[in-house]
Amino acid sequence: MDCIFCKIIKGEIPSYKIYEDEMTYAFLDIASDSYGHTLVIPKKHCVNVLDCEEEYLRVTIDTVQKISRHFVDNCGFEGVNILNASGQSAQQSVFHLHFHIIPRKSDDEIDIWALKDKKQLDLAEICEKLKI
């Protein structure tokens, strides 16, 4: 398997580790696009939320919460954005499940919400098509 995140977990590629436990690994995103941008991944390979085993997904989300709380409670941040892309059409670029944690401060000038223009959508019709 030629997965960059699996190689990071194995120590074949260096990383800036923020946290590790038996099932998850968290490290700084080398994109360096914002201070503290962290990726959280399960240690067992899965492509995204659609194929991840329930136990690994649950533990990965628990780790996302633990790190997010740490950033706010201990590191001086006021909040976090938590992002995930699952599938190529959703702009997933590394096909190993990962969640981005973007630590935030009021004055950081990051605008994470690119979709701002309201569309004329029939929400009742959409709800009927999508509800479970």
Catalytic residues: 98
Query: Burial letters for 15-41: b for 16+ Cβ neighbours within 10 Å, e otherwise?
Result: beebeeeeebbbbebeeeebebbbbbb
Asked if 47 and 56 touch (Cβ cutoff 8 Å), the reply is: no
Q: How far apart are CA 57 and CA 64, in angstroms?
A: 10
